[in-house]
Amino acid sequence: MKTDLARYDDLVHRIYDAALDPLKWPGALAGIAEACGGSRSVLFTPAHAPAQGGFVFSHNLPQANIERWAVKNRLEDPFVRELNARGLMRKA
């Protein structure tokens, strides 16, 4: 797969812009999904749901799915379990 360097550069700039302005994360995540050949993307804090001070930014992911994950599946998430098992995640 050939990488379009101009599109890659634009995406990197969108990510940096979003890091400084959280309102830009949905647009940056749309670009990430497109670059990966996907239709959805999400950036979230694995240890804390939004109600606990964490965050979730998504692209094309239903809000009901995000809420269900935050309430029910967050602690069952295989990535969260593995981070905990390896001692790579510190809970505040």
What are the domain boundaries of the chain?
Answer: 5-85
Phi, psi of 56 (to 5 degrees): -140, 125
| pLDDT value of position 62 | 93
Q: Is the pLDDT of residue 82 over 80?
A: yes
CB neighbour list of residue 26: distance below 8 Å, 6 or more residues apart: 57, 58, 59
- Residue 25 pLDDT level (bands cut at 50, 70, 90): very high
Between 27 and 2, the higher pLDDT residue: 27
pTM: 0.76
C-alpha span between 41 and 79 (Å, rounded): 15
Sign of CA dihedral 33, 29, 56, 46: positive
